[in-house]
Structure 1
């Protein structure tokens, strides 16, 4: 594969990303080399604390989320903070907190993140169910209630 062509394409995707306040996005971030860091309860709780801090500062409205062993799915309504900055802050602050705690001592997140802006015809509740059902589909638990690292506003 021509790496220069790939680099150009990935740059174009970043440049074309739309960040609209009030719009709902499904965000996904993956740990570096898919290391299952969030099997560690302390590390997972530190990430969740940083997500909640962004929510409490009204940078984002968290609708549903799940922390999987090696990635995060976060359904949000975007506030005034641009999408790129929101994810940079969530990843940076969680990495700092986790590394300071001693739960991890290496690069924590892969570069970038995936975002999907929901369209009007998409059913928000079904997307939220998809997010929180990840542990079931991954075979981590038999009942969603047995997995502690998720939340949704519809509870």
Structure 2
């Protein structure tokens, strides 16, 4: 019996195209609440900013949840989608000093008819839906280009 990892199934048919807009969701290993700790959450926020500085991404919005990340961005010209995601995940794990991420991630390339702002609203509303805060302004680990 051969074993196939779910992560390899996630990569089947994955398409990486510069200047496409992607919604990425990636979770922590064992869904552990690493990002409940302020320093870990800020480390991930800085890793996303660094990706933008390296022109790997142009972030439209993100929200760091206690056990996962939602990130909406335009992929830059210099790195593939998987390289960009792996850069952010490995950088944040290295700075936190531990292997915090589950292998793989879910990606969705936005179609032309999809509203970027509607997807962004859905992403940044995650802390409200999860009951972490009653007002988005009270949640510190998100950002959106429209602010």
Q: Which one has the bigger helix percentage?
A: 1
Structure with higher Rg: it is 1
Q: What TM-score results when the alignment is normalised by the length of structure 1?
A: 0.89
Structure-2-length-normalised TM-score: 0.94
Q: Secondary structure at the match of 1:141?
A: coil
For the residue of structure 1 that corresponds to 2:4, the secondary structure is helix
Deviation at 1:11, TM superposition (A): 3.2
Give the root-mean-square deviation of aligned CA atoms.
1.6
1:1-150 map, 5 Å: 4=2, 7=4, 11-80=8-77, 81-99=79-97, 106-150=98-142
Deviation at 1:59, TM superposition (A): 1.0
Report the Cα distance in structure 1 between the residues aligned to 2:9 and 2:51, rounded to whole angstroms: 28
1:13 Cα deviation after fit: 4.1
Q: Which runs of 5+ in 1 are unaligned?
A: 100-105
Runs of 4+ in 1 over 3 A off after TM superposition: 8-13
In the alignment, the residues of structure 2 paired with residue 85 and residue 109 of structure 1 have an alpha-carbon distance, to the nearest angstrom, of 15
Give the gaps of 5 or more residues in structure 2: none
Relative distance call for 1:143 and 1:111 in structure 2 (3 A) is same
Aligned residues: 146
